[in-house]
A and B are shown apart, each in its own frame.
Chain A
């Protein structure tokens, strides 16, 4: 079956770095997406990885290892506004997104 696993909740301190891990099992693979969702709002796109390696975008970076079925989202210099849920989604061979349950990130001062 198809499955996405990510931690339910994480806590970090303002100004620090946090890594949110995601493992996936899909029928075929056409890329790994990360989205940010603030409470009561729709998700917003953060990153897309289809090749192995690290993609950096400002304070956010995303890593993919296709052989391990593994990705992580790295957030640096954490700010209070980064408190949100982070959704990992893998695209299968039919180009459908398989969603993880999301990781709720709590930032403390």
Chain B
């Protein structure tokens, strides 16, 4: 259980275009999903927390107009990188919060999307 999918796995786009990344919880409902980016050899950096039915909460320094997040249903959150530039090239990873059998909550990660902006 607790499988999270992400699509696409890799995308190459031209500078100035927009890219949409989908994150789906396949076998559970996730009221909260998280979007991270990770640069090579660095740790995960939380970009925003996505809550179903409400606006996303962005971390300091993350432009909400550039990284549009829509949590349309309990199983789907999307991240749109608008007017992408080469510096947006990164590994984008989503995670969804799920309850474990022990009653705790943990995050399960999607496989990630590698974005390259030319």
Contact = CB atoms under 8 A, between A and B. Distances in A.
Contacts of B93: 42-43
**How large, as a class, is the contact surface on chain A?**
10 to 19
B107 interface: yes
Given A41-B111, A41-B112, A87 B44 contact: yes
Interface residues of B, number: 19
Interface secondary structure of B, over-half rule: strand
A51 B10 CA distance: 39
Output the residue of A42, A43, A87, A101 with the most chain B CB within 10 A.
Answer: A42
Nearest to B94: A42
Interface stretch (A21-29, A61-69, A74-82, A92-100): A92-100
Contacts of A33: 106-107
Contact of B42 (A40, A41, A42, A101): A101
A101 B43 contact: yes
Contact of A42 (B46, B106, B111): B111
A33 to B, nearest CB: 7
A45 B106 contact: yes
Interface of A: 31, 33, 35, 40-45, 48, 50, 87, 95-97, 99-102
19 contacts: A33-B107, A40-B91, A40-B114, A41-B111, A41-B112, A42-B111, A43-B44, A43-B93, A43-B109, A44-B109, A45-B106, A45-B107, A45-B108, A45-B109, A87-B43, A87-B44, A97-B46, A100-B43, A102-B43
